[in-house]
Amino acid sequence: MGLVRSAAVAGAFYPAEPDILARDVRQFLDAVPHRMSALAPLALPKAIIAPHAGYIYSGPIAASVYARLTGARHQITRVVLFGPSHRVAFPGLAVPSSDRFETPLGPVSLDRQAIAGLLQIPGVITLDAAHAQEHSLEVHLPFLQILFDNISLIPVVVGEAHPDLVAKALETVWGGEETLVVISSDLSHYQAYDVARQLDLRTSQAIERLDLEAIAYDQACGRLPIAGLLIQAKRHGLTAETVDLRNSGDTAGPRDKVVGYGSWAFGFNSPSERQGTSEDMARRHGPLLLDLARQAITARLHGHQRPLPSNLPTALHAPGASFVTLKRQGTLRGCIGSPTAWRPLVEDVADNAEKAAFHDPRFKPLRSEEWADLDVSLSILTPSEPMTFVDEADLLAQLRPRVDGLIIEDGARRALFLPSVWEMLPDPADFLQHLKHKAGMPPNHWSNTFSAKRFQAIEIEEG
C-alpha cells in the first residue's frame, strides 16, 4: 500500500466527517456566482493562489478561484501544490516520502516520478517532518478532491528558499494543460481591519504586476512560493487576475485583529490572446454548441430532462459566457445570456437556450408549432476589459461600433449590450443612451462611480 501522510488538521481547519466536508466544499463553490464581481476568463487558469486558513475564515475566498476550475474535471490530472512551512524551520524545499496523502474524503496519490525529478535539484530534500502537521497544503486537498477525478499530487513545503529555487522547482513540474499549479498563502496577519485592507490591496496590486520585490514578509506568509510563481508567470507570458480579496473580518471573525485572504488566477497574457482562443474554439466547435442549444430546447418541448452529452471536447468544459438568440422569420423570439463566465460553457449554452425559449419575460413560452422555423444563434463572450475615461465624450470616443459589446454599471444599476446591437444603434451616443435606459438610468446620467467594461463576442450562426 505504501506510506501514507494522514490528515493532520481535519476537525480543526475543516470538518472531519466526510459527508459534512463534501457538503461544505460544494456549498462554498455553489455560492461563488452570487458573490463574485470579477469576470472569469474563458480559458482555464494555469495556476492559482488561494488561502489556507480554517474554512469558516478563508473557505469562501479559496472557493472563488477554485470555482474557475469547475469545467476542468476531465482535463486536470495532476496538481502541483506549493505552500509555506509553519511548524518546521529548514532551508530549501521539502517533499515527502509518502505515496499518498489522505483526507476524510479519501486518498490522493502522489506523483513519485515527478517528486524524484525534483530531488535532483540542489536544495530540494525529503523531509517528512515538514509535511506531517503542515496545514498550508492539506486544506486545499478537499477542494481538489471535489473538483477533479483521480488526480496525482506533487506537494512541496517551502522553507527558507530563494525565489529562483522555487521557480526552478516549479519549472521542473510545470507540465501542460493536464497540470494545475496551486500556491498556498494567506496575507497580512493580525492587523486592524482597515489597515489590513490597505496592506492586502498593495499585495494584490504587486501580484497583478508580477512584482515579487514589492511583497514583504509581513504581507504574505507564502511570499516565497508566490515569488517563485511570479517568476514563472513572467517566463511563460501569464497574467495575474485578482479574483477575491477579503479578510477574516469579512467572513467569520472580529475586526480588531484580522487575517487577510486573497485568490488569484494566472492565465493568458492579454485579452487578445484569450479572444484568439475563443475564436478558435467557436470555429472548431460552433456547430456542436448550436446542436446543444437545440437539444436543450427540444427536450423541454417534449417534457424531457435537458441532456448534457458526454465525451465533449475539453475546451467546452472550460468556464464560458454565452448569449443564445432565437429568431422566427427574422423577428426576435428570445434572447438570454450570461455576462460572466462562471460555469462550463456547455452548461451555459444549454441553460441559456432553454431560458431564451421559455423564460424570456418579453415573450410567451415557445410553442411546438413555432419550432420548425426557429433560427438559433450564439454569442460567445470574450473576457471584459475595464475602460478608463475622464468623461462621457471620452468614453464614446473609445467605443468601436460593431466591435465592442459594453457593460455599464453605477451602484445597483447595470446593463449589457452585445456588439450585435450596433446594427440597430450605429451611433455611439445612441448606443450608450439606450444602454443607460436599459440599466434604469436617465439619458444624461453621469457620476464619479459610473464604470464601463467592453468585450467582444464571437458569433455562431446556423447555416
Question: For 330-378, what is each residue's pLDDT tens digit?
Answer: 999 999 999 887 777 888 999 999 999 999 999 999 999 999 899 999 9
State yes or no: pLDDT of 270 exceeds 70. no
Q: Rounded CA gap, 387 and 398, in Å?
A: 9
Q: Is pLDDT of 284 > 70?
A: yes
Q: How confident is the model at residue 207 (pLDDT cuts 50, 70, 90)?
A: very high
Calculated CA dihedral for residues 213, 217, 219, 224, nearest 10 degrees: 70
CA–CA distance, 13 with 143 (Å, rounded to integer):
13
Spatial distance between the Cα atoms of 233 and 239, rounded to a whole number of angstroms: 7
Does this model's pTM top 0.75? My answer is no
> Which pLDDT score is estimated for 1?
56
Question: Domain 385-458 in CATH: superfamily?
Answer: Hypothetical protein ph0010; domain 2 (3.30.1490.150)
**How far apart are alpha carbons 349 and 308 in whole angstroms?**
11
Region 385-402: mean pLDDT is 90
Place of cell 476589459: 385
- Is 50 exceeded by the pLDDT of residue 317? yes
| Per-residue pLDDT, 59 | 96
The closest of 386, 385, 420 to 401, measured between CA atoms, is 420
Q: Are 127 and 88 in contact (CB under 8 A)?
A: yes
pLDDT of residue 158: 98
Q: Using one digit for the tens of pLDDT, what is the confidence trace for 52-86?
A: 999 999 999 999 999 999 878 888 999 999 999 99
Burial group, residue 328, by CB count within 10 angstroms (0-12, 13-18, 19+): middle
Give the per-residue pLDDT at 33: 60
CA dihedral 415, 421, 427, 433 (to 10 degrees): -20
Reference 365, options 410, 412, 333; nearest CA is 333
Residue type, 436: K
Exposure letters 196-224 (e unless 16+ CB within 10 A, then b): bbebbebbbebbeebebeebeeebbbbbb
User: Where is average pLDDT lowest: 42-56, 299-313, 401-415?
Assistant: 299-313
Give me the mean pLDDT over the 23-32 stretch.
Answer: 94
Return the pLDDT at 176: 81
As a whole number of angstroms, the longest Cα–Cα distance in the chain is 73
- The reply to whether 385-458 shares the fold of 4-269 is no
Average pLDDT, integer, range 98-110: 97
Which amino acid makes up residue 196?
Answer: A
Q: Please, which pLDDT band fits residue 41 given cuts at 50, 70 and 90?
A: very low
Q: Report domain 272-381's class.
A: alpha beta
User: Class of the 4-269 domain?
Assistant: alpha beta
Q: Cell for 98?
A: 509518502
Work out the mean pLDDT of the chain and round it to a whole number.
Answer: 90
Rg (CA), the chain: 24
pLDDT in tens, 416-459: 999 999 999 999 999 999 999 999 999 999 998 999 999 999 89
pLDDT for position 35 = 39
Q: Using the 8-state DSSP alphabet, how is residue 8 labeled?
A: S
Provide, rounded to the nearest whole percent, the portion of the chain with pLDDT above 70: 93
Question: What are the residue ranges spanned by the domains of the chain?
Answer: 4-269, 272-381, 385-458
Residue of 317, 273, 279, 286 whose CA lies nearest to 458: 279
3-state secondary structure of 184: strand
